[in-house]
């Protein structure tokens, strides 16, 4: 399936090469600048109407991002806005210099110092676009820091100045934007946790890049793609055939919980329930069986021998009739022998929480040669224990990709923008989330949910993982919209999984993706 242009995230080098192809085909650089910057100017007029907006200050850099800013300044001036320009650079690229001369000839004031910008109600950041690699220092860094301290509304063109396009790293300092307009194709920084506090509200403006030019550079199925509603709709095995039954809808085994962490078993079960899995079995310490039966009466509860402290001591010998196993939430580190057994079973396995902590003790090589798929779902702390040599990388996308290659597994790195890598080197990103998910039990729900979809999609383990992560995020967003971010506990989150699935299955126009 060909990935749409709205579903890929490119590096600065890829974006540069795409633009070079467009220019070699005959598109004048000036024409592309006019088209892209014109779209920015129109969106600014829609979002910040002239009648309710005071003066607009435009920050101009030396390159084509500065040229974009000058086109925006010109168009806002023509629309009746009071516009002032501040360019703290002596040398400009030729095209940018031409725009600067025309803007001056229009009578738009060029400020000698930044101080008058304080009086502006809106600032346009056109200092640096994609591709910046050097840290902001000296007077430019002082300018950025001072502007950030004013508390003004700031619109960044393409990407906030000072943000690394690929890693999202702050290069010394960076503009803290109120709103960012990403031009043409999504840049990877928009999905890196490092950059999120600087982006503000985000919108991509598509100025008509030919798909053939993108395909020539990044391919029809980009190695870094965004999980969209339409892709999830295509992946899910829904609607089900009329002539089916529970055993055809997958049988998942959850191994989780302890006397100390009984809730992990319940929440994992609720997550699995939210996938609509046909059969659900849950292995827990004997003492937890009555509790699990009361919360999940449809599940088959397997009471396992337990240690003196209430951890699972052993699991049944024959696990061959389960389609997949999800293991880890609430186990405690006492369950090391249980995790070792699970890794020896020829079934797809999802590992989370203490399952991951035990794997870190055993060594990541224990999953490298498993015949069936392994899905690892660490948060940043668990990732560091599993892959200490990778955890200092500031690029979450590349560190996830490398972890998946190193382990031969599907690696889901949790975060404000969850990243999923597989052993082929492809990466998928969940493009949205909510702080409502930053709560105990949220990850347990995800473990069960992924396990539930994995057992229903046995030939599409990566897609099952990505679909589970997407629906988990959407359930949190939908719940937060009705309950507020503080009102989304684990049980509430699980109750919104059906809403998220229904939303994904609904037919929507491409513009709503």
Rounded to a whole number, what is the distance in angstroms from the first to the last CA of the chain? 17
The answer to whether 342 touches 255, Cβ cutoff 8 Å, is yes
CA distance 293 to 510: 44
Quote the strand ranges of 44-163, DSSP E: 56-60, 83-86, 109-111, 122-126, 153-157
Residues annotated within a binding site = 64-68, 125, 129-135, 158, 161, 330, 379, 414-418, 443-444
Rounded CA gap, 375 and 367, in Å? 10
Q: CA–CA separation, 78 vs 41, rounded Å?
A: 11
Gyration radius from the chain CA atoms: 26
In angstroms, the Cα distances linking 244 to 201, 234, 238, 247, 248 are: 45, 20, 12, 8, 6
Per the annotation, binding residues for (6S)-NADPHX are 64-68, 129-135, 158, 330, 379, 444
**Greatest distance between any 2 Cα atoms in the chain:** 84
Binding-site residues for K(+), please? 65, 125, 161
DSSP secondary structure string, 214-272? HHHHH-SS-SEEE--HHHHHHHS--SPPSS--GGGG-EEEEE---STTHHHHHHHHHHH
Distance (Å, whole) CA 386 – CA 142: 40
Q: Does residue 80 contact residue 104 with C-beta atoms inside 8 Å?
A: no
Contact 353, 453 (CB under 8 A): no
Query: Could you tell me which residues are annotated as the binding site for AMP?
Result: 414-418, 443
């Amino acid at each position: 399936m060909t990935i749409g242009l709205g579903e890929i995230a490119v590096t600065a080098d890829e974006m540069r090469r795409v633009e070079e192809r467009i220019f070699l085909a005959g598109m004048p650089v000036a024409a592309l600048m006019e088209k892209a910057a014109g779209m920015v100017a129109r969106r600014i007029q829609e979002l910040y109407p002239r009648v309710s907006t005071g003066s607009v200050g435009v920050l101009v850099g030396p390159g084509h991002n500065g040229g974009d800013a000058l086109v925006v300044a010109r168009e806002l001036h023509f629309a009746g806005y009071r516009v002032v320009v501040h360019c703290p650079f002596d040398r400009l690229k030729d095209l940018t210099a031409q725009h600067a001369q025309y803007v001056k000839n229009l009578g738009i004031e060029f400020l000698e110092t930044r101080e008058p910008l304080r009086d502006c109600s809106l600032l346009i950041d056109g200092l640096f676009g994609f591709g910046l690699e050097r840290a902001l220092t000296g007077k430019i860094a002082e300018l950025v820091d001072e502007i950030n301290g004013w508390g003004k509304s700031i619109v960044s063109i393409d990407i906030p100045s000072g943000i690394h396009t690929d890693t999202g790293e702050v290069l010394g300092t960076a503009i803290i934007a109120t709103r960012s307009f990403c031009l043409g194709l999504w840049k990877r920084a928009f999905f890196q946790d490092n950059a999120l506090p600087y982006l503000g509200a985000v919108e991509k403006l598509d100025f008509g890049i030919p798909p053939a030019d993108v395909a020539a550079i990044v391919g029809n199925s980009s190695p870094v793609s965004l999980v969209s509603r339409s892709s999830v709709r295509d992946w899910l095995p829904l609607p089900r055939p009329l002539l089916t039954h529970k055993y055809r809808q997958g049988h998942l085994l959850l191994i989780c919980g302890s006397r100390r962490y009984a809730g992990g078993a319940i929440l994992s079960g609720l997550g699995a329930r939210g996938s609509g899995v046909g059969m659900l079995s849950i292995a827990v310490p004997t003492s937890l069986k009555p509790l699990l039966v009361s919360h999940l009466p449809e599940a088959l509860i397997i009471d396992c021998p337990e240690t003196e402290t209430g951890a699972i001591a052993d699991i049944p010998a024959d696990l061959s009739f389960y389609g997949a196993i999800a293991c880890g939430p609430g186990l405690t580190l006492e369950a090391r022998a249980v995790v070792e057994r699970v890794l020896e079973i020829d079934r797809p396995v999802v590992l989370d929480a203490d399952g991951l902590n035990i794997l870190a003790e055993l060594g990541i090589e224990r999953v490298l040669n498993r015949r069936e798929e392994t899905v690892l779902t660490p948060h940043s702390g668990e990732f560091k224990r599993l892959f200490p040599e990778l955890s200092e990388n500031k690029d979450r996308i590349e560190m996830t990709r490398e972890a998946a290659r190193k382990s031969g597994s599907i690696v889901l790195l949790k975060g404000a923008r969850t990243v999923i890598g597989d052993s082929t080197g492809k990466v998928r990103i969940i493009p949205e989330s909510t702080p409502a998910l930053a709560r105990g039990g949220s990850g347990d729900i995800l473990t069960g949910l992924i396990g539930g979809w994995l057992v229903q999609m046995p030939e599409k383990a990566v897609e099952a993982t990505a679909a589970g992560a997407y629906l988990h995020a959407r359930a949190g967003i939908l719940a937060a919209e009705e309950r507020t971010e503080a009102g989304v506990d684990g049980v509430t989150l699980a109750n919104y999984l059906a809403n998220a699935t229904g939303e994904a299955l609904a037919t929507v126009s491409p513009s709503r993706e």
